[in-house]
Amino acid sequence: MFLSLLGAANGALMRAAASTQPLGGFTFLGRHIIIEEQDSYLRLIDVGETMKNTNRTTSLLVLLLTVISLVPSCKGNSTATSGERSEDNGNRDAGVINAVRSMATQRAAHTATLLPDGKVLVAGGFTGGGSLVSAEVFDPATSTFASAGNMNAARAGHTATLLPNGKVLIAGGYNGSYLASAELYDPAAHTFMPTGTMVTSRSGHVATLLNNGKVLLAGGVGTGWTFLADAETYDPNTNTFTATGGMTTARESHTATLLRDGRVLITGGHKDRRANITIYTSAEIYNPASGTFTAAGNLTIKRHKHDATLLADGRVLIVGGSDERDRDGAYRNAEIYNPANGSFTAVKNNMNAPRYKLQGTTILLKNGKVLIAGGANRAEVFDPATNTFSFAQGDMGTELLFSTATLLNNGQVLITGGYHLGNIVSNNAWIYRA
C-alpha cells in the first residue's frame, strides 16, 4: 500500500500519477464529488458548497473510506506514485519505495540494464506462458515503460551487460533449450542484432564486465541440465567468444563481483539438484591477466541464490540465499569479504527479512549505503558505518523472487517484476528514493 491520505476542509489528496485526468465522480451526503488526477495526486473536489463544520470530521472520514473502495488504482500498481512516503514502520532515513506505472509484460528472471542515455532496457524473462522474446524501455523522466521491440530469441535466465561502446550484450538463457546464442541491443538504432555464438550453451550463469572491456561469463546450467564449471570471455572488438580457464567447481546460483584490482570474486552456488544438490561455502577468484580461477577461501555459511555487491571501500557485501530447504531455509544473515586479507566475516546484525532468489537486486547507493531490494516484500538498506540493516518505507506486496534492481543516474533505483508463491509473475515496478 503506497498511498498517503491527507485530509483537508474541502477535500482530500492521495498520491497517484503525474497527469491531470478525470476519473469519475459520485454523490456523497447530497453533494457531487469529482475525482481527478492532478500533479501526482488524486484530488476530490466537492462541486457543491463546503460541508458544515459540525459534520466535517465524520463526513471526511466516511468520504475517505468511500474513495478507497471506489478507486482501485489507490491500492494497486496501475498509477505512478511519485514522491510519496508510505504509512508504515519503515525507517525514514533508509529511504522510501513507491509504485510507478507497470511494465507492459509480466516478467521474472529477466534483465534490466541502464543505458547511456539514462533509460533502462528490460529484456526477456519468463511468465506463465514461458520465456519471453519482448523487451521494453523505462524512461525515468516520465516513469513509464515503452516497447523496445523483440529480441532475436526468447530468453530467461540470460545475462545483459552494458559494453564500453554503449551497446548491451545479451547472452545465453533458456527458452525450452539452453542457448548459446547472443545478441547486441543498440540503443541508438533501437535494434537487436545477433552477435557471436558462445562456446557453451548456458543459462543461470554470471556475466561481468572486465576492466579490459571484455565480458567474463562463467558457470550456469547447460544442455541436459549439466552444471558448468567452464567460463568464456566476449570481446566486443571482434564480436567473438573465447574459452578461458574453468572454475574450480561447477556452479549455478552463484555470484560474481568485480574487485577494485580488476579480479572477479565468485561465491557460493550449487551443483546438481533435489536430493543430490551440493551447496557451496567455497569461493574463488578469476584473474583476467592469467585467465585462471584460484580458490579464495570459504564463506561463513553455505549459500546459493544469494547476492553480492562491491562496497565503496572495496570490500564485498554478501547477503541472503538459502540452504537445501530453499524458501524454508532462506537466510537473514550476511557477511563481508575483505580482499586485503582474503577473509570472510559475518555481519553482526541480521537483515530484517529472510531473502533468497535475489541475485542482481543488491545496489550500492551514491551515499555509500546498500539497497537490498529483492527476495522479500520489503526493501532494506545496509549501512557499512554501523553494520546495521533498516527497512525502507513502503511495502511491495510480494516476495519479488528473481526480480531486478537498477541504479538510475539520479541516484534512485528502479525495481521490476519477479514472482511469488504459486509462480504468480508480476509486471509491477517501483522506484526507491534514498
Q: Are residues 171 and 319 in the same domain?
A: yes
Q: Are residues 33 and 156 in the same domain?
A: no
Residue 236 lies in a domain: yes
All three cell numbers of 23: 476519473
Looking at residue 386, its pLDDT comes to: 97
Of 74, 105, 120, the last residue of a domain is 74
Residue 37 lies in a domain: yes
Of 46, 74, 102, the last residue of a domain is 74
CA nearest neighbour of 386 among 37, 15, 91: 91
Residue 85 lies in a domain: no
Residue 114 lies in a domain: yes
Residue 79 lies in a domain: no
Looking at residue 7, its pLDDT comes to: 28
User: For the chain, what percent of residues have pLDDT higher than 70?
Assistant: 79
pTM of the model: 0.81
pLDDT in tens, 302-334: 999 999 999 999 999 999 999 999 999 999 999
pLDDT at 58 over 80: no
Average pLDDT, integer, range 282-292: 98
223 phi and psi, to 5 degrees? Answer: -50, 135
Q: Are residues 171 and 279 in the same domain?
A: yes
Q: Are residues 54 and 99 in the same domain?
A: no
Q: Are residues 289 and 185 in the same domain?
A: yes
pLDDT at 53 over 90: no
Looking at residue 110, its pLDDT comes to: 98
Q: Are residues 232 and 339 in the same domain?
A: yes
Residue 84 lies in a domain: no
Residue 186: strand, helix, or coil: strand
Q: Are residues 275 and 310 in the same domain?
A: yes
Residue 200 lies in a domain: yes
pLDDT at 289 over 70: yes
Q: Are residues 166 and 232 in the same domain?
A: yes
Average pLDDT, integer, range 226-251: 98
With vertex at residue 253, the alpha carbon angle to CA 279 and CA 154, rounded to the nearest 5 degrees, is 150
Q: Are residues 148 and 267 in the same domain?
A: yes
pLDDT in tens, 362-416: 999 999 999 999 999 999 999 999 999 999 999 999 999 999 999 999 999 999 9
Looking at residue 90, its pLDDT comes to: 79
Of 40, 74, 108, the last residue of a domain is 74
Query: How does DSSP assign 93-127, residue by residue?
Result: GG-EEEEEPPPSS--BS-EEEE-TTS-EEEE--EE
Q: Are residues 22 and 113 in the same domain?
A: no
Q: Are residues 70 and 100 in the same domain?
A: no
Q: What is the CATH number of the domain that holds 410?
A: 2.120.10.80
pLDDT at 233 over 60: yes
Residue 83 lies in a domain: no
The domain containing residue 24 runs over which residues? 5-74
Q: Are residues 201 and 242 in the same domain?
A: yes
Domain count, the chain: 2
**Whole-number mean pLDDT of the chain?**
84
Q: Which residues contact 134 (CB under 8 A, 6 or more apart)?
A: 104, 105, 124, 147, 149, 150, 151
pLDDT in tens, 335-345: 999 999 999 99
Average pLDDT, integer, range 217-226: 98
**CB of 169 closer than 8 Å to CB of 123:** no
Looking at residue 235, its pLDDT comes to: 98
